[in-house]
Amino acid sequence: MPPSARPKSSGWTSPTSRGRARKAASPLATWKRPRRTGKTASTWYEISPKRAAKLNAKKHREAERLFLAEGETLIRESPEPPVRTFESEAEVRRVSALKTPTGPVGVFPFLDVTVEELLSARDRIVLLHGVQDPGNVGTVIRGAHAFGAGVALSTGCADLYNPKTVRASMGSIFHAPVAREIDTVEFLNGADAAGFRTVAAVPDGGDAPGSSLDGKSVLVVGSEGSGLPLGVLERCLTRVSLPSQAASLNAAVAASILLYHAYARVLG
C-alpha cells in the first residue's frame, strides 16, 4: 500500500521536546554499550523520509547500519538520542512500517556487540538457535534485560533490527547486549573457554532447572518446531527441561522462564 493510501492515525502525539531527558539504563546494567560510528555517520543529518523508509528492508539497514524505532515510549528507552527523528504525521506515515503509525520514528545506529564483548559483559547469556519469529526474538531480549542477561542470535534467527523485533523488545534492545549472526557451535566453544557452563533447553529428558544454572551460564534455546540439532546438543555440558502440561513451549516462554530461574539463584 502506498504511503498516501494509508489511513491517518490520531493515536499518537509528537514529543514536546527533542531534548527530553532519556530514561536511565537498568540498575542491572553495569556494562556500557561501546559507542560506534557507522560508515554513514557523516551524512546522518541528510536522512530524508524517503531514505529512512528504506530502512524497513534488511538490505538497506545493513548498507546504512541504521535501524528504525517507532513510538515515543520506545524512543525514550534509548540512553542516546536518535540521529534523526520524524515527528510530523506526514513524515511518520511515510516512514512507518505500520498501517496505523503509533508515533514518532527515530533513526538509530546499529547496537549489536561482538562475541567477545558479550562474553565479558554478562554472566548469563541466552543463545537462540534458528528462532525465526521476530516477536519471539524481541520478547527474549526483553526478558534478558529484565533478568540481567545478554543475548546471542545464531545465523538463521530473525533479524535483530526487523521492526517487529524492535517493537517486541519494548525498548530493551537499547539495554541488553546482543551479538548476532553467530555460529552456534563456535560460540559455545568460546563460551566454554571463557568459563561458561553451556546448558541446552530440551522438551523432556533433561534435568530440572537448578544448580546447572549457577554461575556463568549460556542457555541454548531452539525454535518450538525444530528444537536444537544434535551437534548443538552434544556440544552442551548439560540439558534442562521445564515441567509443563503443554506439549512444548515457544522459545520466548522457555527462555524467559530459564532466565528467571538463573536470576533467582543469583538473588538467593
How many residues in the chain? 268
**What pLDDT does residue 142 have?**
97
The gap from C-alpha 245 to its chain's centroid, in whole angstroms, comes to 29
**What pLDDT does residue 26 have?**
39
User: Coil, strand, or helix at residue 5?
Assistant: helix
Q: pLDDT below 50 — which residues of the chain?
A: 1-11, 13-30, 37-42
Q: Distance between CA 74 and CA 177 in Å, rounded?
A: 17
Q: Which residues of 183-199 are buried (b: 16+ CB within 10 A; e: fewer)?
A: ebeebbebbeeeebbbb
**What pLDDT does residue 17 have?**
41
**What pLDDT does residue 32 have?**
60
DSSP code of residue 227: B
Q: Which residues of 134-157 are buried (b: 16+ CB within 10 A; e: fewer)?
A: bbbbbbbbbbbbbbbbbbbbbeeb
All three cell numbers of 63, joined, read 548498507
Q: Which domains does the chain have, with CATH numbers?
A: 43-110 (3.30.1330.30), 115-267 (3.40.1280.10)
Q: Distance between CA 93 and CA 135 in Å, rounded?
A: 22
User: How many other β-carbons are positioned within 10 Å of the β-carbon of residue 92?
Assistant: 23
**What pLDDT does residue 205 have?**
85
**What pLDDT does residue 22 have?**
40
**What pLDDT does residue 44 have?**
57
**What pLDDT does residue 262 have?**
87
**What pLDDT does residue 248 have?**
74
**What pLDDT does residue 145 have?**
97
All three cell numbers of 204, joined, read 523432556
The gap from C-alpha 186 to its chain's centroid, in whole angstroms, comes to 20
User: Coil, strand, or helix at residue 260?
Assistant: helix
Q: Distance between CA 80 and CA 75 in Å, rounded?
A: 9
For the segment 139-198, what is each residue's pLDDT rounded down to a tens digit? 999 999 999 999 999 999 999 999 999 999 999 999 999 999 999 999 999 999 999 999
SS (H, E, C) 172-237: HHHCCCEEEEECHHHHHHHHHHCCCEEEEECCCCCECCCHHHCCCEEEEEEECCCECCHHHHHHCC
All three cell numbers of 71, joined, read 513510538
Q: Distance between CA 151 and CA 176 in Å, rounded?
A: 7
**What pLDDT does residue 261 have?**
86
Distances, alpha carbon 212 to alpha carbons 144, 167, 228, 236, in Å: 18, 32, 18, 12
**What pLDDT does residue 40 have?**
44
**What pLDDT does residue 70 have?**
96
